[in-house]
Structure 1
């Protein structure tokens, strides 16, 4: 990774010592296939483990943010970025080798304001295949691909960064990018030759039917969120993400 930084990859991390190294390595492999400089910014969010130490050893820059909202954490990384192009990826996930090259090609074409990436699980089972098919159908119908977000930094600045809400921030941000792209005569796109390698750690810990069980048990919270009351859904998101990582760090 040269000093001529063109791409900044933002990695939010909350107690991710088991995963941050492999995430950074996947970015390095993708960076090796482009000629411009690529930096990795790991945003340590209330970490109590060795996430920062491992990230620094892997060649990443480390910044800190104490928010309990992943969108705010991502925005802290964007604010610190040196690159003209911003990409984001969650710390337990990985990108495929051609990801950065494909992103730059799509942006350089002038047709795209930014976009997302399809996701593929790192392992599969009947439940995960069903989950995968539902994700593909949802993304295909809406066109609001998430996972790895990518756009120029000035574009994120223009839309005010990631939508700072606990529930549905990815979809809200994708909608904002698409709307801004329409104003600029550009499309919100999706990678075709590369994808996000989606972690199955929660499924490994709590079973492959996890999200189907949660949807059934929390149907009331989901319905309320659909009608504008996200208080119960926000609490569920806290339990599934921040509290989950806190508990993993304590037990390791």
Structure 2
């Protein structure tokens, strides 16, 4: 990879030694399809395993962040990025090989402020298909495509980075980018030829009906959070994301 960095790929990681090399390898394949410098930044968040060592051994810049807020972890990587363009992806997920090329094409067209990517799962079953349909429907209604985020670093700087929330920061950030793009006369878009390959590790371990079961069992917490009492909801988010270890 060239020292003349054009693209920075930011990967937040919490105890991801099982997945970090796979994520980096797929990013390298995508980088091999473009004629510009690409750097990979892994932001290790409260890691107690070998994520950092594996990331460094496979060519990534490694940063650390102890926040219990995914937005802050992403923003740490964006702030350190040397590229004109920033792409973010979670460590257990993968990008397809034409992702960087398509992102650069869209941004260089001058029509897009940034955007997201379609989400496809590693495997499918009936409940995972149902989750997929709900995701696609939500994206189609809101236009807040998430998964992989892409925009120029100057754009992330202009909007203050990812919205400072422990959960649903991706949707909030997509909406912020969309509003900013409207002011700039540009669209918030979604990749067409490439996608995010979404990990099914939680389904593999906890069952394919996982999120439907969680919604049913925690309906009270979700209703209370909607009414302003986030205590039980924040505990659930910690259990499923910030304290989850593969």
TM-score by length of 2: 0.98
Question: What corresponds to 1:169 in structure 2?
Answer: 169
In structure 2, C-alpha distance between the alignment counterparts of 1:145 and 1:229, rounded to whole Å: 27
Query: What SS does structure 1 have at the residue aligned with 2:197?
Result: strand
TM-superposed CA distance for 1:161, in Å, is 0.4
**CA deviation vs aligned residue, 1:113-139 (integer Å, no higher than 9, x gap):** 000001000011111111111111111
- Structure 2 gaps of 5+ residues are none
1:153 and 1:107 map into 2 onto residues whose CA distance is: 12
Aligned residue in 2 for 1:237 = 237
**Distance across 2 between alignment mates of 1:48 and 1:59:** 20
Question: Which residues in structure 2 correspond to 1:62-81 (within 5 Å)?
Answer: 62-81=62-81
Equivalents in 1 of 2:65, 2:10: separation in Å? Answer: 13
Describe the SS at the equivalent of 2:77. Answer: helix
Distance 1:229 1:183 in 2: 34
Per-residue deviation, 1:228:
3.6
Q: Within the alignment, does 1:126 sit opposite 2:99 as a pair? A: no
Q: Secondary structure at 1:67's aligned position in 2?
A: coil
RMSD: 0.9
Q: Once the 2 structures are TM-superposed, how far is the Cα of residue 234 of structure 1 from its aligned partner?
A: 1.9
Quote how far apart the aligned CAs of 1:2 are.
1.0
Gaps (5+ residues) in structure 1? none
Tell me what 1:111 maps to. Answer: 111
Shift of 1:230: 2.9
Q: Which residue of structure 2 aligns with residue 91 of structure 1?
A: 91
What's 2:194 paired with? 194
- Residue 35 (structure 1) shift: 0.3
Aligned length: 246
In structure 2, C-alpha distance between the alignment counterparts of 1:83 and 1:187, rounded to whole Å:
21
More deviation in 153-162 or 228-237?
Answer: 228-237
SS in 1 for 2:106: helix
Secondary structure at 2:90's aligned position in 1? coil
Question: Normalising to structure 1: TM-score of the pair?
Answer: 0.96
Structure 2 match to 1:151 = 151
CA distance in 1, matches of 2:229, 2:113: 31
Aligned to 1:11: 11
Over residues 97-153 of structure 1, what are the superposed CA-to-partner deviations in whole Å (9 max), with x where a residue is unaligned?
000000000000101000000100001111111111111111111110000000000
SS of alignment partner, residue 87 of structure 1? strand
Runs of 4+ in 1 over 4 A off after TM superposition: none
Q: 2: CA distance between counterparts of 1:230 and 1:117?
A: 29
